[in-house]
Structure formats: C-alpha cells, structure tokens
Structure 1
C-alpha cells in the first residue's frame, strides 16, 4: 500500500505535459523573434540609411541638394513632349533621364519590376517626380539586389527595374539628373533619393502629378517590355515636337497644351551609346 501511494505521489509531482508545453512555447517564441529580427533587418538598416541621408532633403534655401552629391550628371529637358505607344525615342543618354516619352507613365508607387520595362514609359514617370533605380542584371543579384529593392519597394514615387546592357552596375535617374554607381552599399543612393524624389522645388516638370497605375493603359503586373534593339530611322529625335495624338496624359488631348514643345538637352548625345 505504501509503495502504491508513493508511486501515485511521484507521478503527480512531475507535470511533464506542462513542462513540455512551456518549452515548446518558449522555443516557438524564440523562433518567431529570431525570424522577425532577420526578416526586418533590411528595413531597419534602410531606416538607418535614410536617416543618414536626411541632410540631403530639399529646402527653400537648398532647392536641389543633389548638386552636393559627387558624380551626379545633369541636363535640361522640357517636359510634356509625348509619343505614341508604337513609337520610340532616340535617347541621348543610357538610361535616359529626360526628353520625349510615352503618353502614359510607368507606375511608380514603390514598384519593383522583375523584368525590364519600356523606356519611354519609365521616362514619363520621371517627369512626375519619380526616382528610377536601374541595374545591370548581369552584375547585380542576390544581396545587392535586395539592397536596391528595399530602397524602392512600397516607397512612393520610386521604381526599380533591370536595364540590360547598362554600362555600370547601378544607375539612378530623376528628371534631368543621373548618378551611376558600382555598389548597392553606396550611401549616395539614399542621398540621391532624398534630394530628388518628389522634390517640390521645380526640378521636374509636373509637380503634383500622379504615380498611380493607369487602368487600361499601363498594367504594372504586365508592363510593356524593354526593347534592347537600336532605335531605327523612324525613332523620334530628342528635339521632337511631340506626336499630335499623344499630347495629353495617356493620349487624351489636353486643352491649352502647347502644340510644339521642344526638349533641349544640355549636352550632346553620347556617341555610339545604345538607347531605347
């Protein structure tokens, strides 16, 4: 009897089920916290990069802080020169950062495009104040691509896409501004974005314009593809006055819009440079 009672007491005194449950809960919590720390690290790191670049935000007294960023190239282009979806432009820069462009802008609401997109649509988004991060897909992948993606994903007035044949690993574009770089770690990426994305001080033509998708004209899930071939003799030159049927946004004629706007690049076209 005593042995039996001792056995019962012993069994009641060791709550193995509770212990196992607690251990499982602690292990699960640790796994969740570890996963969160790893998964959120890129965003937390990006927040630090943006904080470091905050001094490049535009102000009334410093309207274009990109002038303080080494390597930034600028040119002057007149906006509102539109071409049809079937037309190409013989751009003077690669990638271009101004000039005639498609009547419909590429969606630029923090889009990470997995494939290269038609250049004429991307240039129109620059006219609206977007920053376009382009990269050479043969040189940028893995962690470097993730570093670029976190700069663009879900960031208003920002877009990222591969650009086949790019002469540098990375190229940043805003209207009239370009910066080419070798590394996704370069702090000038965040400085360029801080200085020029949605800059309200007249550094791009259409302040206040939308970056949203244009239903029926541009599908961000199935955008018009990049054409890697050299523009033919029918391509529109940089001083093109615009196609009559394409002078409104998305091709709708706009009342009071000038009939012959002219783009005036600040420098001559690069000899032999590929363009689209």
Structure 2
C-alpha cells in the first residue's frame, strides 16, 4: 500500500517525464498559454510594414567561406552578410556572444539573430527571446538570441537577417514577430518560405 507522499512523488515524476518528452518548443507554448510565457511566436506570411518602417537594408557583402579564425571586417554592426566560417550557430538563447563567422553563416541559412545589451535585458524581453529560440529551431528557419559581441552597441536591442538590420531602443515583441515573419526562412542559401 502507498501513502499520499509516494503518490505525490510519482505524480511529480510523471509530469517531469511528460514535459521532457514533449520538447522545449511545446513547453514554451504551454508556458505561454499559462500566462508565464514569452508571447506569440507564430510566423505570419509577412511582417506588418508599419512595424518594419525602420529596417535598414544593405548590399550583399559576399557569402564566401573563410577559414575559422580569419578576421573579417564586416560593413555593418552587427553584421548582416559577408565572408563567414563553415559552421552555424544552433537556435537558442545565449548568455555569451557566439563567433561572428558562424553567426553570419547562420543568417545565410535564413535565421534571425537578435542581439541584446545585457544591462538592458528585461525579464519580458528574455522570456520572449527564449520563446522564439525554442519555437524556431530548423536548419533553414531558426532564431538565435545573444548579447552583443562588443561593449558599445548603438541600441539596447537589434534584429538581423541576411542584409537587414533593425535597431530597437526598447524591446517590442510585436516588432520581433513582424521582423521574423518578414525575413525568417528567406536566407539566400536555401529559402524555405
């Protein structure tokens, strides 16, 4: 015969196993439904033009692969195209900057890379960025969030896609969704949308 403590322990274990099986994206979606999540991470066909009015577009700086460790002087800060390494950065929310040569290749694959200044990162922004990174993990359609790789960013937040940059003075989840809707999965290497 079991007592109430054993039943509660088994029930808790069962919930943990269930959450482990459904995956991070489903957990993020479930958290959003319960009110603790990071907002809407759906991907409309295109972004709202009014929310994208400040997007800057740049010429292609090239897409050739260079040897890992090669210093590349990118024409935009953060970079939006140019020579890059052969590796990519997996979708995720990162506490440390990732190698720029890999980040640029990730952009070429159709990713959105969101940058944040750690001292400006709000709980709402962190939660929303994590939700995007958990919900969009495909090779050709992913979301990466990381701190700026330099100390003096032009704005607390920036969104990048291949050849496109949007700086934000404050975090706006609707703008993030519009930017992702417009550019995610539309990189030059293998556009999937």
Moved more, 86-95 or 183-192: 183-192
Q: CA deviation at 1:208?
A: 5.2
C-alpha distance in structure 2 between counterparts of 1:67 and 1:82, whole Å: 33
Q: CA deviation at 1:154?
A: 3.6
Count matched residues. Answer: 161
Runs of 4+ in structure 1 off by over 4 angstroms are 36-39, 65-68
Q: Deviations over 1:18-54 (max 9, x none)?
A: xxx8xxx9xx9xxx9xxx87883244x623x64xx73
C-alpha distance in structure 1 between counterparts of 2:31 and 2:49, whole Å: 37
Unaligned runs of 5+ in 1: 1-20, 59-64, 210-276
Change (3 A) 1:154 1:37: closer
1:88 corresponding residue in structure 2: 71
Q: Contact conserved, 1:91 with 1:99, CA < 8 A, in 2? A: yes
Q: Contact conserved, 2:60 with 2:163, CA < 8 A, in 1? A: yes
Q: CA deviation at 1:78?
A: 5.4
Q: Deviations over 1:226-247 (max 9, x none)?
A: xxxxxxxxxxxxxxxxxxxxxx
Determine which of 179, 187, 190 is the counterpart of 2:174.
187
Change (3 A) 1:75 1:46: same
Q: Does residue 46 in structure 1 map to residue 28 in structure 2?
A: no
2:185 corresponding residue in structure 1: 198
Superposition pairs of residues 171-182 of structure 1, within 5 angstroms: 171-182=158-169
Unaligned runs of 5+ in 2: 16-29
Secondary structure of the 2:77 match is: coil
Q: TM-score, normalised by structure 2?
A: 0.71
Q: CA deviation at 1:181?
A: 0.6
Q: Contact conserved, 1:66 with 1:72, CA < 8 A, in 2? A: no
Q: TM-score, normalised by structure 1?
A: 0.51
Superposition pairs of residues 183-262 of structure 1, within 5 angstroms: 183-199=170-186, 204-207=187-190
Change (3 A) 1:162 1:132: same
2:22 corresponding residue in structure 1: none
Q: Deviations over 1:149-168 (max 9, x none)?
A: 22222412111111142221
Q: CA deviation at 1:138?
A: 2.0
